Amino acid sequence: MSDRIDVLVIGSGLGGCATALAAARRGARVVMVTKAQRAEDSNTWEAQGGIIYRAEDDSPELLAADIVTAGAGLCKPEAVGILSREGPRLVDEILLREARVPFDHGTNGDLDLTAEAAHSRPRIIHRADGTGRAIEEAVLGAVRREPNITILTGRTAIDLLTLSHHSRNPLDIYAPPTCVGAYVFDQASRRVETLLARETVLATGGLGRIFLHTTNPAGACGDGVAMAYRAGARCLNMQFIQFHPTTLYHSGERFLLSESLRGEGAKLVDGRGREFMFDHHPDGSLAPRDIVARGIHQMMHETGSPCAWLDISHKDKAWILERFPTVAGKCREAGFDLTSQAIPVVPAAHYSCGGVDVDGEGRSSLHRLRAVGEVSCTGLHGANRLASTSLLECLVWGTRAGEAAAAACRSGADDYFPEIAPWEYEAEPVDPALVAQDWLTTRQTMWNYVGLVRNRRRLDRAHAILRELHMEIGRFYAKAELGDSLISLRNGVQTALVVLLAAMEMRESRGCHYRTD
């Protein structure tokens, strides 16, 4: 493969696919890398609920108002305008007409529109409770058919290449801070590839795995934020970690119980069957997500209960099984029957509302670096994300960033490719027990001290632990044999520290950032 790429896309979820398609169709040669063995394996694949389309009596203004209300006064107006105006049109063009995602239809033949918390109208389309999977299969299919796109799986991005950090020309430190590609670890050959690109786009997804309990898949370790931060790109709103109110409480890993369950009528109740959320918000179980997650936390604290319960058993059994096959199956595996009993639930880390600061075309503060999807901060979500905006944000910003990146390549204005220092291989063996313990320390620290409820003493304690761990891992990384687990750990602890520092800086409570002091 040529070592000079037009557009390098890191990540293969909906944001990465939309970017790659838009860029390739405008003539750019695109290389998409993912650390997964199967390109499908992404945050998108796990998304259950759905994607915003439009209700019968909807308008961009109504959607914008719901986003802004959920965002607790911190949504960026330009970003809200872009998504509300362009989102439904792109769903039409790309997902419905072109990729032909098999969304569910009602008995009248129209798309089935569902509700979710804090939406004033039912405007979300879905494929049962496996919407992300249906979208990813269809869109990745389109990517695979596109001759201008090369997909490389089993490739872990290590670091972004910048003129100031990696060029062999010492005078490049005087150029504007610029990204020129990435060092990428090939898991099969265990060699490091230097991929030089005119434009680099981070589409690496979320960071939920830096917390002990999360809805996120194994790969969501905050890789993109860590790489961007080390390269000197501005990261924004990192304190706003959204906790999903309802994940299955059992001995295994937390499993998401989609908000669309509540959109379809499920009620959150305490141990006595009382709908306690009305104590906190007039919308009860359908209040904005941050309020519901804290309401559950408070109820658990006050009653000594280990969880809340989610009850949809009043609905028809056959309908539940058809509408929520994934959730029902997972509950069954864990010994619960979604159709006949209330299911124990607890909040878990779900979504990062902040990320790499970008404009309406995904452009970051680092020249030639863009970011799309959860790794980015468009400002759309403000301090708390409205449900089902995330896939739409991937589609809209992916398309816009891909188009803009292709245009930048065509303009030929940024054709400088420096000579890059070759990768220096180290040899010290990595002890898996140490890696596992460092992950556990990071995750427990973030969960206990930088979680749903924060205060200065908890944050200070976290700082003492993570600062030390970050330095220790950095020292070890510098001499260790490179591998996927070490790259992820280094990124995870870096991102945890970025989230923690942002949380320490914000003294007030707002949206998902809640302080008791």
User: Among 204, 390, 494, 495, which residue sits at the site for ligand SIN (rule: CB under 6 A)?
Assistant: 390
Q: Does 112 bind ligand SIN (CB under 6 A)?
A: no
Coil, helix or strand at residue 37: coil
Site string for ligand SIN, 334-353 (x = CB under 6 A): -----------------x--
Contact 218, 356 (CB under 8 A): no
Buried b (16+ CB within 10 A) or exposed e, 315-335: beeeebeebbebbbebbeeee
259 lies in the binding site for ligand SIN (CB under 6 A): yes
Q: Is 310 in the site for ligand SIN (CB under 6 A)?
A: no
Can you tell me the distance from the alpha carbon of 35 to that of 41, in angstroms, rounded to the nearest whole number? 9
Q: For residue 304, which amino acid is it?
A: G
CA distances for 190 relative to 35, 151, 425, angstroms: 13, 18, 10
The dihedral over CA atoms of 388, 47, 154, 434, expressed in degrees to the nearest 10, equals: 100
Interface pick for ligand SIN out of 42, 44, 260, 491 (rule CB under 6 A): 260
The whole-angstrom separation of Cα 412 and Cα 430 is 43
**C-alpha to C-alpha distance for 505 and 496, rounded to whole angstroms:** 14
For ligand SIN, give the closer residue by CB, 255 or 449: 255
Q: Report the nearest approach of ligand SIN to the CB of residue 260 (Å).
A: 6
376 touches ligand SIN (CB under 6 A) = no
The correct pick among 114, 214, 258, 488 for binding ligand SIN (CB under 6 A) is 258
- Residue 285 binds ligand SIN (CB under 6 A): no
Three-point CA angle 342, 309, 261, nearest 5°:
75
Does 247 contact ligand SIN by CB under 6 A? no
Q: Quick check: 384 binds ligand SIN (CB under 6 A)?
A: no
267-269 vs 308-311, strand pairing mode: antiparallel
Of residues 35-54, those binding ligand SIN (CB under 6 A) = 48-49
Alpha-carbon span 352 to 374, nearest angstrom: 6
- Cα 5 to chain centroid, rounded: 26
Distance CA 132, CA 124 (A): 13
Stretch that binds ligand SIN, among 172-180, 220-228, 258-266, 468-476 (CB under 6 A): 258-266
Tell whether residue 388 is a contact of ligand SIN (CB under 6 A). yes
Tell me how far, at minimum, the Cβ of 513 lies from ligand SIN, in Å.
Answer: 18
Of 209, 289, 385, 454, catalytic: 289
507 in catalytic set:
no
Q: Using the minimum distance from each CB to ligand SIN, give the nearer residue, 239 or 247.
A: 247
Sites of contact with ligand SIN (CB under 6 A): 48-49, 258-260, 351, 387-388, 390
- Active-site residue set: 289
